[in-house]
Amino acid sequence: MADNRSSGTKVPTTVDVYLYIPNIIGYIRILMNCVAFAICFQNKILFSFLYLISFVCDALDGHFARKFNQVSTFGAVLDMVTDRVSTACLLLILSQVYRPGLIFLFLLALDIGSHWFQMYSTFLLGKTSHKDVKDSTSWLFRAYYGNKMFMGFCCVSCEVLYIMLFLLAETQIESLRLVLANAVRRSWITAGLLGLLGFGWGTKQLVNLIQMKTAADVCVLHDINNKKKQ
């Protein structure tokens, strides 16, 4: 590391940042997901295990980043890209397993689109985090990003629901409506779990819609303000 004599602190090199503990966890997540998706149709149980472990590690990298003072922009981007790509791949698989598959492709587009708009609007506003929504007029939007437990519940609900749908499919082409109906009739526990997960999933999709609209407004207002200055 190079010495910063003016502050007496050590400035990390590029290699140091790449080898931060949370970033290494990010690389491990990517590797687990690659293996998981490679075997998803051959071994559903192992796929689900690897995918969910990778998802759990998403919380660990943030913990270690704060604990060892290894917060980095690269790590934040790596974390978000890994999350979005992992979910996108799972939704793409579900679109091939279930009919109508267009539902899952729409969810994929909404997930990526809303987060991309939110990230870009964050830069336009000069904020340091896309989770800084204290000035939002939507109480649900503020509650989602302002309460880690609530946000965690919604995120976990989505991922677990998608994994459950994958495990419930007995053939490669299934009717989503019939699979859900059979699962609900089969057991009240399964019905209750699907209902709970569905609530968290639905909340997150609503937040994604609010997020996209709010971020789009920021982009439009940015252009309008620039026109006024000319």
Residues annotated as catalytic are 83
Beta-carbon contacts of residue 125 (< 8 Å; ≥ 6 apart)? 218
Phi-psi region of 91 (alpha: psi -120 to 50; beta: other; left: phi over 0): alpha
* The residue to which tokens 């526990």 are assigned: 189
> Is the CB of residue 100 less than 8 Å from the CB of residue 198?
no
Q: What is the DSSP letter of 171?
A: S
Geometric angle at alpha carbon 91, from 64 and 78, rounded to 5°: 30
> Is the CB of residue 158 less than 8 Å from the CB of residue 201?
yes
Geometric angle at alpha carbon 88, from 85 and 89, rounded to 5°: 85
